Structures are given as C-alpha cells and as structure tokens.
Structure 1
Amino acid sequence: MQYIAAAIAIFGASIGAAYGNGQVISKTIESMTRQPEMAGQLRTTMFIGVGMIEAVPILGVVVALLLIFI
C-alpha cells in the first residue's frame, strides 16, 4: 500500500504541475502578443512562476520517499 500511495502522490503532483505550467506559459505568450513591449518583464515573471510551480513535484517526491521509507 505504501508504494501505491507514493505513486499517487507523485502522479498528482506531476499532473498538477504540468497543468499549471501550461496555463502560465500560455497566458504569458498571449500577453506577449497583446503587449510586445512588455515581453521582457513578462518572461521574467513567467520564469519565477514556473520555478515556483516546479516546487510542487519536488515536494511530491519527498512525500513519496517518506511514504516508502518511513
């Protein structure tokens, strides 16, 4: 059961992060087409947002490892 719980934790975290990254990137590209002069600032903000979203799967892996080894 520990392995199933770990797999669900990683699966949920990775699906959520993939959806979040897709939304952030698509909205950033949409904003860049509407206001090209803001492209640099939007890109910087996008990278910060993607970095924060990528913390979710890392925490999912930590939870999965805790479920397996503890």
Structure 2
Amino acid sequence: MTATPEPSRPATFDLEAAADQAIAACGGDAREAVRALLVAVDFLEAEAGELRTKVSKGYARGRLPAARTQG
C-alpha cells in the first residue's frame, strides 16, 4: 500500500460531457472556456498552497507534495 492513494473518480464522470458543459457555460467559445478553467486552476493551486502552509508537518508526516512554483 502506498502513502498516497490514487484519486478516484465517480463512475459516472463523463469527460466529454464536462467539456461540452464548460464550453456552453462560456457561450460556446472554447477559448474563453479554456481561459476560465486556467483561472480556476490557478485559484485552486493558490488555495491549496495556502492550506498546505497551515497543516503541521507532524500531522502530514511528509505526505504533502511540495508547492509548485510559478514559472
């Protein structure tokens, strides 16, 4: 057993439907959908980095990956 289990997805997750939904949410503009998703990913990475600093090293026991650097 590994220290970090593989993330599981719901059995009903449909990548094509999710992509279509993201494009539809941006008025059918695929470029705008990609831009919105990149902004969302950047926000979530920043939030994860902030939370990572608040978790004690003893609690995490080295299981947390190092924060990514923006380049």
Instruction: Output the TM-score relative to the length of structure 1.
Output: 0.41
Q: Using CA pairs under 8 Å that are at least 6 residues apart, name the structure with larger relative contact order, 1 or 2.
A: 1
Larger helix percent: 1
Q: State the TM-score, normalizing by the size of structure 2.
A: 0.41
